[in-house]
Structure 1
Amino acid sequence: MDPVTADVPRMKTIREYVEARILSLDDLKGALQLAMRLEFATIPPYLCAQWSVQNDPDRTEGVLHRIVSQEMGHFALAGNLLAAVGGRPSIAHADFLPSYPLSELPGGIPQELPVDLKPLRREQLAVFMQIEYPEFPPIALQAELPPATIGAFYDTIIATFQAVKPDIDQDAHAVELPATNPIRTVADAIDTIDRIKSEGEGTQGSPEEPSGDGGGHAHYYLFKELYVQKRLVKVGEKWSFSGSPVTLPDVYDFGSSQARPNPSAEFNRTLKQLLIDLETCWTNGAPPNVAAMFRLQMIGRDLIKRGIRPEFRWDDGSA
């Protein structure tokens, strides 16, 4: 039987969380569940771009793999934060999966360029830069109101941990992967949120990650290197896209399929099981199903090579 979710109150927008400034414990849990949705929403588009790579003279797939791995880590870390403050990550249901194309990201962040599942081409890189843009000009507020950005959303979560100092469950289950860790203290929580922010957009005045897997540029700048086809380099005290040229790879073209039986059925079943298994990591401490992650990748790559777009939909049993 599929996991059944209890009645869940309407999810607040990023604007609503930011306006509150300091969150109640219940709102902190809601904000962390939203953070899980927000981080997950980027993964299918990035994966489809990665899987579409064919000839790859400048090892672009490795760049995409690193970004996807970090986004998966951010998603898992948001879940670990939620479990640590007594919440229950809820991902094993159809409503958790975004329906692409997205005109706004979870939390009500409008996207001028729709976020869709497409091959890695220059126009898709523009979408990815939009998602990761520092300070997030595609904001969640009307133009006449002060901006409520994703950065401000994470800052609100940090401020809540600093002010409220919620009890941290030392026995909370966590998804433990090479790039993730359990949350044992309020300081752990704050460091984790800072990491999620900086790996996506860098730090103020610098494109570099301050920590993590050996440094390197944050996601926005990695995508922009591919978009402008020039490496980002530091000349004196200034950064500029004036380094060595970057050649975009050849890619497999793909699109949605109306064939029956559904060629994405096995992919959707594997995704569903993966989400079910991940949720149990937080509920009973089961280890992550790494084999299912590799299986999803194998099936997704095969679909794309055949010109078929992986659906990233919850399997409802129909073919």
Structure 2
Amino acid sequence: MKTIREYVETGILSAEDLKGALQLAMRLEFATIPPYLCAEWSVKDFSHHARRALHRIVVQEMYHFALAGNLLTAVGGTPSLAHSDFLPVYPADELPGGIPQELPVGIRPLVKDQLAVFMQIEHPDFPPVGRLVEQPPPTIGAFYDSIQMTFQTSPPEIDPDAHAVRVPHARPIRTVADAIEAIDRIKIEGEGVPDSPTAPTGGSTSHAHYYLFKELYVQRRLIKVDGQWSYSGESITLPEVHHFEPSTAEPNPSLGFRRVLTRLLMELESCWTTGADVNDAAMSTMFELQSAGEALIERGIRPEFVWMQPPG
């Protein structure tokens, strides 16, 4: 399987290459969800700004994951996620596709060190405003640019009747224009675009994920002062959180969580392979996973995002 750097440096050379890139995009988008989810679940006050910001980000990442799957089926591919290799192993020194991470990506409460990890994940492919430190830009944005360039310069055949996950902001891909628009959305909502944060995302006043995380990190709102953006707005207090660690107890208290996660991956894959409606099964399973994860975290136990082979 090609790495993201290879896709960026050599381009996408065939229809199979494009399918491989979009399957990798699904893995990349999913890899951010467990750390973000557990950070959200760790916040004790459900009404706290930080929890609401994390929830918004997680929902958008889920939409990006769905869009990547819809793009893959639209070009004749088959999403593959109901197996152990789809799930990242945390802590991770690199994101799927070989994107190195100086700060390991792990599953931890919403503390300042974890916010630094999240900023690293979402760091733009261009210098963001109010940059904390100098670091080489990541290649996630360039990866999506390579995918988008393929749709623009060598448009693949689109199956307008391909199975798709239908959720808000992740509609089926019927045309090449739909594909280009979907990739734009993923880029703008995640790391932003070169004119960020001037251009809020999603038709709202919300900034791209990088800027939302940095607001929490510096504990100040990002505002415009005399025509310039700066983190000099309203003060933000970091929330009280549940701290959690891996459990060594027997039986493993995360077994139930792992069963629900496995069922969710199977149901999501079925949406793309059989046309099953995500609202008929997978949506309720997502809420079941949330309840199980929150219950573990409240007990001080880190949820295990690990595949559990179904019986038989």
Smaller-chain TM-score bracket: over 0.9
* 1:105 matches 2:95: yes
Paired residues for 1:178-257 under 5 Å? 178-208=168-198, 210-212=200-202, 214-257=204-247
TM-score, length-scaled by structure 2: 0.92
Q: What's the counterpart of residue 133 of structure 2?
A: none
Matched position secondary structure for 1:16: helix
Aligned to 1:308: 301
C-alpha deviation, 1:73, in angstroms: 0.5
Where in structure 2 are the equivalents of 1:275-314 lying within 5 Å?
275-288=265-278, 289-314=282-307
In the other structure, the counterpart of 2:131 is none
CA distance, structure 2, for counterparts of residue 185 and residue 265 of structure 1: 42
Q: Tell me how far 1:23 sits from its aligned partner.
A: 2.9
Please tell me the root mean square deviation across aligned C-alpha atoms, in Å.
1.7
> 1:15–1:148: 8 Å Cα contact kept in structure 2?
no
Give the C-alpha shift of residue 21 in structure 1: 2.5
Contact kept? 2:45, 2:240, Cα under 8 Å: yes
- Which runs of structure 2 are paired with 1:92-171 in the superposition (5 Å)? 92-135=82-125, 149-171=139-161
Question: Counterparts of 1:275 and 1:293 in 2: how far apart (Å)?
Answer: 10
Q: Distance in 2 between matches of 1:293 and 1:48?
A: 14
Deviation of 1:149 after TM superposition, in Å, equals: 1.1
* Cα separation, partners in 2 of 1:63 and 1:233, compared to 1, 3 Å: same
1:300 partner amino acid: G
Structure 2 distance, partners of 1:58, 1:290, is 25
Partner of 2:224, secondary structure, is strand
Q: What is the match of residue 44 of structure 1? A: 34
1:70 is matched with which residue: 30, 42, 60? 60
1:132–1:201 contact (8 Å) kept in structure 2: yes
Q: Does the 8 A contact of 1:57 with 1:249 survive in 2?
A: no
CA–CA separation in structure 1 for the residues paired with 2:57 and 2:201: 15
Distance 1:250 1:101, change over 3 A: same
Give 1:83's aligned residue.
Answer: 73
Q: Are residues 16 and 147 of structure 1, via their aligned partners in 2, closer, same or farther at CA, if it must alter by over 3 Å?
A: farther
Q: Measure, in 1, the Cα distance between the counterparts of 2:267 and 2:195.
A: 40
CA distance in 2, matches of 1:155, 1:59: 32
Q: Which amino acid aligns with 2:297?
A: I
Instruction: Report the CA distance shift for 1:222/1:211 in structure 2 as closer, same or farther (over 3 A).
Output: closer
One-letter code of the match for 1:188?
A: D
Q: Does 1:15 align with 2:17?
A: no
Answer whether contact 1:203 1:210 (CA < 8 A) is retained: no
Mapped to 2, the partners of 1:136 and 1:204 lie a distance apart of 7
Q: Give the structure-1-normalised TM-score.
A: 0.90
SS at match of 2:257: helix
Structure 1 gaps of 5+ residues are 1-10, 138-145
Q: Which runs of 5+ in 2 are unaligned?
A: 128-135
Do the aligned residues in 2 keep the contact of 1:53 with 1:252 (CA within 8 Å)? Answer: yes
How far, CA to CA, are the matches of 2:236 and 2:35 in structure 1?
21
Pairwise CA distance, 1:59: 2.1
Residues 208/80 of structure 1: CA separation in 2 closer, same or farther (3 Å cut)? farther
Does the Cα contact within 8 Å between 2:126 and 2:194 map onto a contact in 1? no
Deviation at 1:214, TM superposition (A): 2.2
Output the CA distance in 2 between the equivalents of 1:19 and 1:202: 22
2:222·2:231 contact (CA, 8 Å) conserved in 1? yes
Return the alpha-carbon distance in structure 1 between the equivalents of residues 55 and 12 of structure 2: 35
The answer to whether the 8 A contact 2:123-2:138 is kept is no
1:74-110, CA deviations, whole angstroms, 9 ceiling, x for partnerless residues?
0010000000000000000010000100000001011
Give the Cα–Cα distance (whole angstroms) in 2 for the partners of residues 35 and 136 of structure 1: 20
The one of 11, 19, 26 aligned to 1:29 = 19
